[in-house]
């Protein structure tokens, strides 16, 4: 029954169709003719009828809800990712429930999330223990880690090719003539930061260079600023820095300009990872590795829809290719060209 007391039976009578036809007319993807849908919608509008999603979920056993769990939204990549994700899932007839969690408290929150009878859980800037992931699998609730993975957990994952992205940046910096090359890591326990760093080391080794110095920014603006101060406090400074994501790179650039009076890229080259919209702004023009939010979301939706339809958890992994975007924050090697300004 809708809020005003008008029922689907009332709509069916006015439209001269069956009650099941009314239900199908309001169900995305359901089989109903265009003519029938038009009659139902016209009758519903006349009567002021709105279908009760909660009641329909109780009858069908399908909530149509997908939980998205995030630990932070400071990184500009995640708001973009969540917008793409919400739109893509809505097109499939699902609604997103957004949950914020604190680092280290994800398991407690996921236990609460499951009370909403969600049909899947997406961990966008958070993760969960292997034991809880196993419990979710037993209940048929798919869990997908977006932009990270846990090898031992029975979860699906969608990531960028972080190893290759790090390798591309190493080649770019060495080919540009840099030798005192530093790295600013994200969270030490993050698969994303670890893989980017490992790929970077591999790329440096392929060019006969070793990492000069290392610091940890923890994927925060403040942490990256402290890391920059540590790396540049002495006279023996890096001539290039790979920062594990764009969000931290903006902090590094701001500190080097304001506190050390350094010019980028004349004094030091800065490269990063993500290619958030702000990376193309005139004040940064950041050379970075792009990971496509649209492609990551498409892979996420594809994996989850297959598992939801089968009501069975079958973990899958998808890896999105990395692409280097050359702008003005780093010295450009011979034969390479920058991307035009946005």
Work out the burial of residue 138: count CB atoms within 10 Å of its CB; fewer than 13 is exposed, 13-18 middle, 19 or more buried.
Answer: exposed
> Which residues of the chain form CATH 1.10.260.40?
8-60
Looking at the predicted structure, is the pLDDT value of residue 91 above 80?
Answer: yes
- Provide the pairing of β-strand 156-160 with 120-123: unpaired
- Distance from the first to the final alpha carbon of the chain: 51
- Provide the pairing of β-strand 120-123 with 65-70: parallel
Average pLDDT over residues 49-69: 69
- Provide the pairing of β-strand 156-160 with 213-216: unpaired
In CATH terms, the superfamily for domain 65-160+292-321 is Response regulator (3.40.50.2300)
Helical axes 293-310 vs 77-91, angle rounded to 10°: 40
User: What pLDDT digit, counting tens, does each position of 250-283 carry?
Assistant: 999 999 999 999 999 999 999 999 999 999 999 9
Q: Please tell me the predicted confidence (pLDDT) of residue 73.
A: 84
CA distance 52 to 47: 15
> Which residues of the chain form CATH 3.40.50.2300?
65-160+292-321, 162-291
CATH 1.10.260.40 fits domain 8-60 = yes
User: What pLDDT digit, counting tens, does each position of 293-335 carry?
Assistant: 999 999 999 999 998 887 778 889 999 999 999 999 999 999 8
Please name the helix (run of DSSP H) or strand (run of DSSP E) that holds residue 96, with its range, or none: strand 95-100
- Could you tell me the two tokens for 195? 């893989």
Q: Which CATH number fits domain 162-291: 3.40.50.2300, 3.30.70.2740, 3.40.30.10, 3.30.1360.20?
A: 3.40.50.2300
- Could you tell me the two tokens for 206? 């392929």
Looking at the predicted structure, is the pLDDT value of residue 4 above 70?
Answer: no
């Amino acid at each position: 029954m809708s809020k005003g007391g008008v029922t689907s039976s009332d709509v069916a009578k006015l439209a001269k169709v069956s009650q099941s036809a009314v239900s199908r007319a309001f169900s995305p993807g359901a089989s109903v003719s265009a003519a029938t849908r038009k009659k139902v919608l016209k009758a519903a509008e006349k009567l002021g009828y709105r279908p009760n999603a909660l009641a329909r979920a109780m009858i069908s056993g399908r909530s149509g809800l997908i939980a998205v769990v995030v630990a932070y939204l400071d990184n500009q990549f995640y708001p973009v990712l969540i917008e793409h994700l919400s739109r893509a899932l809505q097109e499939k007839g699902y609604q997103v429930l957004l949950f914020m969690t604190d680092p280290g408290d994800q398991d407690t929150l996921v236990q609460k999330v499951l009370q909403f009878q969600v049909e899947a859980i997406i961990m966008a800037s958070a993760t969960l223990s292997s034991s809880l992931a196993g419990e979710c699998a037993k209940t048929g609730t798919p869990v997908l880690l977006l932009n990270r993975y846990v090898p031992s957990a029975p979860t699906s994952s969608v990531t960028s090719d972080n190893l290759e992205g790090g390798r591309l940046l190493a080649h770019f910096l060495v080919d540009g003539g840099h030798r005192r090359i530093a790295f600013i890591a994200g969270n030490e326990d993050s698969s994303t930061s670890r893989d980017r760093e490992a790929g970077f080391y591999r790329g440096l080794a392929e060019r006969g260079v070793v990492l000069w110095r290392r610091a940890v920014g923890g994927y925060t603006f403040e942490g990256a600023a402290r890391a920059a101060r540590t790396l540049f406090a002495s006279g023996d400074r890096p001539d290039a820095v790979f920062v594990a994501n764009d969000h931290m790179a903006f902090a590094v650039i701001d500190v080097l300009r304001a506190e050390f009076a350094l010019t980028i890229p004349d004094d030091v080259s800065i490269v990063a990872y993500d290619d958030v919209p702000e990376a193309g702004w005139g004040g940064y023009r950041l050379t970075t590795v792009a990971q496509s939010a649209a492609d990551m979301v498409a892979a996420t939706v594809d994996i989850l829809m297959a598992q939801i339809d089968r009501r069975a958890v079958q973990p899958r992994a998808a890896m999105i290719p990395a692409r280097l975007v050359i702008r003005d924050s780093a010295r450009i090697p011979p034969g390479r060209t920058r991307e035009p300004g946005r």
